[in-house]
Structure 1
């Protein structure tokens, strides 16, 4: 098993993201959002992106800035509107961004299915609503289900707390959210971490994302020292 590639800057980490790519971006709102990687993606100039995220950006940083700059042609998410999602609102109302709305559980399972090699799955979520329009419906044991397909990505941009020198990852509490399943569902997974530890610096029992799913790592040091709990 080969180790992940460690790069010096976020710009280098995302330099090969192509126009038109499907990009998964970790985070639940701002928790676990890889802001520095997104800022580097904006600087790279990549455009016409399809972004997969739970939300559609908060405030003016990270994903919101990517949308503001007109780099996102389509977003697949479960919660596009909130009090500070003004950049998405403006783009959507003027027809400058396409939205595929997916129920949150279905979004997570569609991403997980891609990483697990599952061709599709039936779920009752969304049956009888506009979210099921045009999709195959099947009755199983007296209950109706909707066929959903996996979501694959060219690139996943995620944030973890720490990586060891192989690229094994641990996360900090709720910042974990979509990171592990997105890492498994993308052709290339790029990770920003607060710290890089030597081999043996992460207890194998604490590894959440094994290095086999990690292609590229960049260290973005935390502004404050970690507590022991946060390193797990």
Structure 2
């Protein structure tokens, strides 16, 4: 191969042929090669090419807050099929992104594949193996006995996963999808195409994606912030070697992540003092996060997801317990303080950042101790939906790594409100339900099975659900109420607000009133502070 060429984004886009399968490295706004994706859209607008692309997005590409990502190429004729861990999401009041209009309009086959499995598919393609055998996703929407990852009727008509028997057991089989083009991103490229990531908040999966393309004779395009002289990058800095790269596009204004041009603590170049992290203001979400924090154990490695549970690291900071557990997130950060809102998926002060494919191997094999996640719905089997809700699916974005994380996790704490849009208050160390929510979240059957409760019981997983008004546990006898909040009436506020019968524990307890007061709760999760 020749050394890589430095091209404009438009020149690089011109190299992509009709009918190509293109894999894109990104996690929403984090690491998104937006300049190249925009150039592909411009080329199609001007010439009608490239046409009929299949795109692979192991986590997600773009968002609704300034980094368009996949929306640059979500055009009829340009995009023919899409496989993604998740999709751009936004508030229910916003217009859906263009990709969601294509999906819900049944214009293209679209699939929501767990992020870890999508990375596994790349590794299999790189080694020229036939595909992925896995049990991740069995009995969830991933399973062909349910939706088989299909997001619309066109995808259902073109199955991407099947159940197969192997060594006397049932497995899910995903055929490897061979990509022709990889569009990846880094901070720096030297003149020989070696890529380093010193300003990035995560590596994500560019090495695996580049290998899958290179080993199958394709084209690797790397968008970077800057160029460096050959020989100036230390070998330990280089994640993707230049022998895998064909073209370099310099985009000096690329965002570090959503609404963040550059913050050195995200890439580990400086460490922020703990006093610089805001702690949640007192209110019902903080009460829930505090109760979740009490499920932690000293020394745990804990995965954390979006939603109320994302505030738990700030609870530990406020309580002087930072460092008692190690946070691990799917974008690759280990340790430090996971960030919130537009910077979710990044961490400040991380101890390490590992490539996402390896982080997902860690999750799939349940090497970690616990996971703190959210729920949209819970049903009588204890199954959870986080991936699809009602007529505005762009609000949920898809499952991302949720299925990989929960499939075998030893301990999971789901958190959320018991009903949707209830008017809640706190007075004198007790919860006040001023108006009940209009939508029940404990339903007879979840709309989309993101987590299979019956399978969790069979596997012996420890499952807890924390809400503002009660704590529940999943057992072989059903979903059991183990605690209720002070000020809550068990019959009126809990049992009558679920669509299925809840079991009441004979040792039903009242949640600690300290959770419902503004001052710190004296959190003790064992051990001594580090």
Runs of 4+ residues over 4 Å off in structure 1: 223-230
* Structure 1 CA distance for aligned equivalents of residues 35 and 200 of structure 2: 20
Q: How does 1:46-125 map to 2 (within 5 A)?
A: 46-53=50-57, 54-55=59-60, 57-59=62-64, 61-67=68-74, 71-80=78-87, 82-83=89-90, 86-125=97-136
Give SS of 1:174's match: coil
Deviations 1:70-119 (A, max 9, x none): 62121101113622653222111211121022111101111122123332
2:176 is the alignment partner of 1:150: yes
Residue 194 (structure 1) aligns with: 225
Q: Larger Rg: 1 or 2?
A: 2
Checking the alignment, whether the CA contact within 8 Å between 1:38 and 1:66 is kept in structure 2 is yes
* Structure 2 CA distance for aligned equivalents of residues 225 and 81 of structure 1: 21
TM-score, with length taken from structure 2: 0.40
Residue 42 (structure 1) aligns with: 41
Aligned length: 229
Give SS of 2:11's match: helix
Q: Which shifted more, 31-40 or 54-63? A: 54-63
Q: Which shifted more, 16-25 or 56-65? A: 56-65
* Structure 1 CA distance for aligned equivalents of residues 138 and 171 of structure 2: 6
* Structure 1 CA distance for aligned equivalents of residues 74 and 211 of structure 2: 25
Q: Can you give the 5+ residue segments of structure 2 that lack an aligned partner in the other structure?
A: 45-49, 145-160, 255-260, 270-352, 354-530
Distance 1:16 1:210, change over 3 A: same
Deviations 1:113-157 (A, max 9, x none): 2123332231111223443326142355x8642222222111111
TM-score, with length taken from structure 1: 0.86
Residue 12 (structure 2) aligns with: 13
Q: How does 1:20-39 map to 2 (within 5 A)?
A: 20-39=19-38
* Structure 2 CA distance for aligned equivalents of residues 39 and 118 of structure 1: 33
Greater helix proportion? 1
Q: Can you give the 5+ residue segments of structure 1 that lack an aligned partner in the other structure?
A: none
Q: Which shifted more, 142-151 or 209-218? A: 142-151
Residue 249 (structure 2) aligns with: 218
* Structure 1 CA distance for aligned equivalents of residues 181 and 194 of structure 2: 18
* Structure 2 CA distance for aligned equivalents of residues 39 and 220 of structure 1: 12
Checking the alignment, whether the CA contact within 8 Å between 2:30 and 2:202 is kept in structure 1 is yes
Higher-RCO chain (CA-CA 8 Å, sequence separation at least 6):
1
